[in-house]
């Protein structure tokens, strides 16, 4: 029994030893492979170092050439600087002359602007005067037409058509004249009333305007005809809008 047990233990030890050897062998192979990769990388790095050294030598040669070129350029720069100073001096002189010309040009420009403004003002004034003159001519034409129409209307009241008889207001000289507004021109601010010379009305008389028996305005007579008058509102009543049929009383 003990012999069998010892045999089994020996076998187990041998198995474990073999397994350990196998694992060690595998690790050894893996380490060899990694070592081979490291060696290959070292060779590559050595080649890169050699190439870098060659590039560095080439750069050093190029640097020497550049330093030689820089020395030449420095000599040229010195010559250019001398030339630049000369040009700078000429530039300053040119700038000074240019500034003087600019001052003269600015003065001329300001004078020209003043003349332009004066011309514009004169043109505007001319346009305004022309416009006012045109408007005045139009107003005169309108007033003439209005006057003609008013005269025609007055003629109708003074000389009615045949077969039509107008009521006449007969008053005593001791009684104030009374009448009514028969026409209103609010645009030009005057009215026509149906009392005139026959009623004792004269230029400058004051007429009181009544509406519904209440005084609403006052008129001053400007023109007098046989049985009609033209009157305008007195001061303080210019904003009152007159109406046809408003009653008027002569109050002088």
Q: What is the CATH number of the domain that holds 205?
A: 2.40.10.340
- In a domain? residue 63: yes
Mean pLDDT of 62-67: 85
- In a domain? residue 36: yes
Coil, strand or helix: which one is 238?
coil
pLDDT tens string 1-25: 666 787 888 888 888 888 888 898 8
- In a domain? residue 148: no
Return the biggest CA–CA distance within the chain: 183
Bigger pLDDT: 39 vs 171: 39
Residue 216 banded pLDDT, cuts 50, 70, 90: very high
User: What pLDDT is attached to residue 174?
Assistant: 43
- In a domain? residue 238: yes
Residue that finishes a domain, picked among 126, 159, 188: 126
Closest CA to 182 of 191, 169, 174: 191
Residue 217 belongs to what H/E stretch? strand 214-224
Mean pLDDT of 47-69: 86
Q: Do both 185 and 110 map to the same domain?
A: no
Contacts with 180 (C-beta within 8 Å, 6 or more apart), sequence order: 193, 194, 245, 246, 247, 248
User: What pLDDT is attached to residue 188?
Assistant: 81
User: What pLDDT is attached to residue 169?
Assistant: 40
Bigger pLDDT: 201 vs 35: 201
Q: How far, in Å, CA of 145 to CA of 152, rounded?
A: 10
pLDDT tens string 138-187: 765 676 576 667 656 665 554 444 333 444 444 434 456 899 999 999 88
Beta-bridged to residue 192, according to DSSP, are: 183, 230
Q: Do both 121 and 171 map to the same domain?
A: no
- In a domain? residue 4: no
Using the predicted structure, report yes or no on whether residue 56 has a pLDDT greater than 90.
no
Q: Do both 24 and 120 map to the same domain?
A: yes
Residue 229 belongs to what H/E stretch? strand 229-233
Tell me which range, 1-5, 72-76, 119-123, 132-136, is most confidently predicted by mean pLDDT. 72-76
pTM score, two decimals? 0.37
Number of domains in the chain: 2
Query: Domain range for residue 201?
Result: 167-250
Q: Do both 51 and 103 map to the same domain?
A: yes
- In a domain? residue 158: no
- In a domain? residue 134: no
The per-residue pLDDT of the chain, averaged, comes to 81
Q: Do both 81 and 174 map to the same domain?
A: no
């Amino acid at each position: 029994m003990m012999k069998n047990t010892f045999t089994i233990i020996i076998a187990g030890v041998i198995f474990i030893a073999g397994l350990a050897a196998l694992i060690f062998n595998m690790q050894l192979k893996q380490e060899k492979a990694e070592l081979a990769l490291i060696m290959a990388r070292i060779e590559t790095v050595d080649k890169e170092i050699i190439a870098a050294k060659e590039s560095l030598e080439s750069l050093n040669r190029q640097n020497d050439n550049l330093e030689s070129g820089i020395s030449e350029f420095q000599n040229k720069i010195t010559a250019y600087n001398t030339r630049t100073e000369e040009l700078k001096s000429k530039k300053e002189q040119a700038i000074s002359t240019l500034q003087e010309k600019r001052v003269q040009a600015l003065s001329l420009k300001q004078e020209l602007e003043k003349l332009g403004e004066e011309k514009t003002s004169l043109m505007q004034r001319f346009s305004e005067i022309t416009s006012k003159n045109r408007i005045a001519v139009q107003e005169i034409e309108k007033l003439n037409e209005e006057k003609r129409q008013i005269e025609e209307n007055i003629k109708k009241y003074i000389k009615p058509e045949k077969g039509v008889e107008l009521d006449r207001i007969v008053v005593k000289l001791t009684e104030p004249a009374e009448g009514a507004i028969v026409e209103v021109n609010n645009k030009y601010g005057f009215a026509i009333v149906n009392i005139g010379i026959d009623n004792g009305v004269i230029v400058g008389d004051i007429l009181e305007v009544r509406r519904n028996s209440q005084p609403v305005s006052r008129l001053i007579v400007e023109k007098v005809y046989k049985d009609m008058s033209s009157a305008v509102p007195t001061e303080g009543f210019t904003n009152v809008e007159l109406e046809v049929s408003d009653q008027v009383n002569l109050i002088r």
